[in-house]
Amino acid sequence: MGKYRTSEKTCRQLTSIGTGTIYKGKALALTRLIFKQRLSFSPFSCLARNQQLNSTMARKFFVGGNWKCNGTIEEVKKIVTMLNEAEVPSKDVVEVVVSPPFVFLPLVKSLQRPDFQVAAQNCWGLKGGAFTGEISAEMLVNLGIPWVILGHSERRSLLNESNEFVGDKVAYALSLGLKVIACIGETLQQRESGSTMAVVAAQTKAIADKASNWANVVLAYEPVWAIGTGKVATPAQAQEVHLELRKWLHDNVGAEVAASTRIIYGGSVNGANCKELAAQPDIDGFLVGGASLKREFIDIVKSLTVKKSRL
């Protein structure tokens, strides 16, 4: 048998068999493909690598609710009451973090159930000072806010935050002990041009070049074309990007970081599509926008049950 390099497409096909339900017919067809192409490799190496990348047992399901620029005091109280009264899985198996506007952070923190946490929607990338309108990471620490969302596409596009600037902010927040939900994602034009992975890899690299503690980082893949549009990436599209991101982390940061870092999906997630998305092996949870203001946010938190059935 000749020596040929395994095609990435074939390895991905074999990998999908290893992580999902095994269909004998599909496995047989791929086996024939291997011999037809005279590929000198072990399919089990692909499966082993994918199992290493997909150590879901070590990754607690994560659901974040980004309230964006919404709410009054009374509306916020109603949302918190709704969340407090809901029956959800234990914090031992799912981590829930809600992110109200900055002015409501102390209120939500004081009223919210103890098994949920709060996050700020942004912070400045330097120590406080003459930066009118900004919120410093030190202020969040002083308020006892454990999480912050950084790099959201709305800030990248509307406020021209560059990859490097986002990387600096992530690094500074981590240096002060904050935990970071770091957002990445491509536009519709970038997806249609076939540059999705190049874009999200560059965004991730800007973070990886400066991040000091990956244990405190959750990556949120949010395809820009699916945020607030009602469109949503198919489970297969989302899984493909999540898996490639995990491979990138494996090859550029380290195997342990790749296996343990939670990569969550955002982009028109709702109660109707969350279970199918959660069933994907590399989707470790969600960053929810509009639906986080509604009762269906609880359904999204409960989609963890689909993930648990796969473990």
SS3 272: coil
Q: What per-residue confidence (pLDDT) applies to 232?
A: 76
How many CB atoms are closer than 10 A to CB 95? 22
Q: What per-residue confidence (pLDDT) applies to 231?
A: 78
Q: Tell me how far CA of residue 131 lies from CA of 126, 150, 167, in angstroms.
A: 9, 17, 19
pLDDT along the chain (311 residues), means of 10: 42 44 41 41 45 64 98 98 98 98 98 98 96 98 99 96 98 98 96 96 98 96 87 91 98 98 95 96 97 97 80 47
Six-digit token string for 161: 């935050």
Six-digit token string for 86: 């809901």
Q: What per-residue confidence (pLDDT) applies to 33?
A: 44
CATH class of the domain defined by 55-310:
alpha beta
Residue given tokens 């395809």 in the structure block: 223
The pTM (predicted TM-score) of the whole model is: 0.83
Q: What per-residue confidence (pLDDT) applies to 293?
A: 98
Q: What per-residue confidence (pLDDT) applies to 50?
A: 54
Q: How far apart are CA 102 and CA 218, in angstroms?
A: 20
| Catalytic residue list | 152, 222
Q: What per-residue confidence (pLDDT) applies to 227?
A: 82
SS3 131: coil
Q: How far apart are CA 175 and CA 179, in angstroms?
A: 10
Q: What per-residue confidence (pLDDT) applies to 306?
A: 83
Show me where the domains of the chain are located: 8-52, 55-310
Residue given tokens 């509307």 in the structure block: 158
